[in-house]
Amino acid sequence: MSIYKTGLFVLGASILMACAAPSTQQPENKVEKAYTPKPGAAVEFSSEVPKSMVAGQYQTVKLKFAESYPENALSISLTTSKGLSLFGGMDRKSFDMGAGREHVWDIDVSAAEDGIYFLNVFVEADGQPRAFSVKLEIGDVTPAMRNRAVKSTGEVVNGVRVMEAEETIR
């Protein structure tokens, strides 16, 4: 009986060691990830948009910027898609980057008609540009409005639109 128990113990230990041993063979389909930093200003962006926006009324969109530059100015300019207007034409603003890491800009926007609009945000920090866009759904938005808002090309595969792109890394 002790030979039987010893044999089981050796077999069990061998299996555990085989499972715990690191494998030196890499799977064929494994690809190492390459880090390709996005060029431009090191500025993080977020926005807060009202849940329900009504056509014909000005509503506030909160733009939030975060950066870690020690000095100089964070310059921001805005453009809008056709039909969207900014209250008072306020389309440019600067923040002192030495005064803090986070900056907030409340923008009042309005559209005369229901639809999907875009607020385009262009940022420059330390001589480097970065661009963002805020999608605004104003009023009752229909599927046809969504289709017209973003003209897209390319084939849809498993719910994902595949589009050609070209990237240059310097």
pLDDT tens figures, 55-76: 999 999 999 999 989 989 999 9
What is the reported pLDDT for 110?
A: 94
Cβ-based neighbours of 76, under 8 Å, separated by 6 or more? 63, 65, 92, 93, 94, 95, 105, 121, 122, 123, 124
Burial letters 118-128, b for 16+ CB under 10 A, else e: bbebbbbbeee
Distances in Å between the Cα of 45 and the Cα atoms of 15, 63, 73, 157 are: 52, 7, 16, 30
Average pLDDT, rounded, for the chain: 80
Whether residue 64 contacts residue 102, with contact meaning beta carbons closer than 8 Å, is answered with: yes
pLDDT beyond 60 at 97: yes
Whether residue 75 contacts residue 18, with contact meaning beta carbons closer than 8 Å, is answered with: no
- Using a cut of 0.75, tell me whether the model's pTM lies above it: no
Rounded average pLDDT over 113-139: 92
* Domains identified in the chain and CATH numbers: 43-150 (2.60.40.10)
Distance, CA of 112 to CA of 164 (rounded, Å): 35
pLDDT beyond 50 at 31: no
SS3 per-residue string spanning 72-134: CEEEEEEEECCCEEEHHHCCEEEEEHHHCCEEEEEEEEEECCCEEEEEEEEEEECCEEEEEEE
What is the reported pLDDT for 163?
A: 75
Q: Residue 33's pLDDT band (boundaries 50, 70, 90)?
A: very low
Ramachandran angles phi, psi of 9, nearest 5°: -65, -45
- What long-range pairs does 21-29 form, CB within 8 A, spacing at least 24? none
Distance, CA of 99 to CA of 94 (rounded, Å): 12
pLDDT beyond 90 at 30: no
